[in-house]
Amino acid sequence: MKSRYSHILMLLGAILAFVPILSVDYFLDAYVRMREKIDASQYVAAVSAQIDAASTDAMSALRTVLADSPSLCTPTFVANVQLAIESSLNMKQVLVENADGVQYCDAFGRTLHYSPLSDSLPVPGRTESLTVVQFADMVMPALKLTQAFGELRRVSAFLPVLSQNTATMEQGLDAGAMVRVSLTNGTPILTLGDPGAFDRRGADADFISADSFAGALPIKVEYAVPFAIVRAGFADLDVSFTIVASLMSAAFLVLALHYVRRSRVPAFDLERAIARGEIKPYYQPVINLRTGALVGCEVLARWEKKNGKVVPPGAFIDYAEVTGLAIPMTLSMMQQVKADLGDLCTMMPDMKVAINLFEGHFRDDSIVEDVQAIFGNSAISYRQLVFEITERHPVGNSAVANSVIAGLHALGARLAMDDAGTGHSNLAYLGTLGIDIIKIDRIFVDMIKPDTTQVPVLDGLIAMAKDLDCEIVAEGVETEAQAIYLRARGVLQAQGYIFAPALKVDAFRELAVALHATQAPRQRIEAVVASAA
């Protein structure tokens, strides 16, 4: 017995001896990462916001010029262009040319010399296109923002990617840091510092990095600095951290060990379940109320334990979100969705797959890169993806949240507001987030009874969604009366037990194939009729 207790005391003594040193490094590393990550995120957000603001200003000025000018290349047009350039902090030139690059006129009456550095890309949500060019003798690459004028003419505004010169920006960078501005298709625009070490990194922890998208523009800004270089600047804090850790280690470790020994720590169970693949995606069909066709599905999580018990999401989703396990759980679900639905999405290219995101995803924009890594080369295209944001927990209007939403939109995915009307949304909130789809919560659908002729709250939600030009999906539809009521008010997409519950992948695939087989002949007939007409 004495030997047993001696071994325990020796173990505790060894732990207490090494914990202060280990904890100092750990907590100081965590502090440095957190602080520098915030600075890095603010830096890329500021740079991307500058690009977005300058481009938006140039596009607005170009539209004003075209609206105020009866025709191109007239004295009035040239005067309007010169006034727009004088009023702008960034716009350098305006050029009228045809689709073959033949120049007709510009703001100052001289031939412009520029060479494209990238393909022309559309600007999402706008009629302009964007090309990166080398403009005249400007060292900084320039953006060429082009608006079509009729079928033959093109009117373009030129502005530098950034207002600062590269030398000034490089002087402001930390040692070993790099800044890279590129198009979302990977075409480089501007690189400061040496990105080679960052691109060859063995682990993400080796660098402090952040990225951001320039609003709706297909432009991405990246910043990275080696963690070792940053960490060296905090050496003076080591002594202070060591003193504090030494004073607190004994009491903290006793309490921590007591807690671990006497508690089950349920997070361990959920974390192991995620690692073992026990969190499975179930698929609830979304049906077109007018045609009966399968529109898509919502991916719902179920915990399938080894003993065969299936745990509903209400028992662990909130806990996963609070503990941060929702993020690895979402990654696991997306990997499984890619494997489960790849061939279906190829066979049914219009099918939408809705995946739930959590508030934590909008505090770290790495989710955009995760979506690219998982679905970038898969059979499921970005445009088939819908990411649902629950309204029960506010996302907020932070720079990181806007960067995530802009990044997902830039890929071609759409965003849906889940549980609409039950939590934190309002017209300004929804408009700010850039929501494409509003999902009406089942508590409002349940208000529809067999003899119901009007549900003011539900009708108001439907009207709000239409005013915002959002698609509408009704959840929890369980009766024919509910389906008829919704369809009569223009709600054409619904999910609920009247159609099917959340299904395992095999059952969902059978249902999807069967519905597709019944819809295909009708679609072929409609196509023939349309072509004949």
Tell me how far apart the alpha carbons of residues 424 and 59 are, in angstroms, rounded to a whole number.
Answer: 34
Query: Angle 317-320-326 (CA atoms, 0-180°, nearest 5)?
Result: 95
Query: Are residue 241 and residue 356 in the same domain, yes or no?
Result: no
pLDDT the model gives residue 393 = 61
The domain in which residue 243 lies consists of 24-247
- 16, 17, 240, 243, 475 from 247: Cα distances, Å: 11, 12, 11, 6, 55
Query: How do residues 210-249 score in pLDDT, each as one tens digit?
Result: 999 998 899 999 999 998 888 887 777 766 766 766 666 6
Q: Is residue 258 part of a domain?
A: no
Is 183 part of a structural domain of the chain? yes
What pLDDT score does 244 carry?
Answer: 67
Last residue of a domain, one of 190, 220, 247: 247
Rounded CA-CA distance 209/226 in Å is 9
DSSP assignment of 488-517: HTT--EE-STTT---B-HHHHHHHHHHHHH
> Rounded mean pLDDT of the chain?
84
309 and 231 together in one domain: no
Structural domains counted in the chain = 2
| Same domain flag for 70 and 205 | yes
Listed residue (399, 397, 408) closest to 437, CA to CA: 408
pLDDT tens, 370-414? 999 999 989 999 999 999 987 556 666 678 888 888 999 999 999
pLDDT above 70: residue 251: no
- For the residues 147-156, what does the mean pLDDT come to? 90
**Residues 149 and 296 both lie in one domain:** no
Is the full-model pTM beyond 0.75? no
* 11, part of any domain: no
Q: Which two structure tokens, joined as six digits, stand for 456?
A: 């003011």
Residue 13 lies in a domain: no
Same domain for 151 and 275: no
| CATH number (domain holding residue 359) | 3.20.20.450
**Phi, psi for residue 420 in degrees, rounded to 5:** -60, 135
Q: Are residues 205 and 70 in the same domain?
A: yes
Same domain, 241 and 274: no
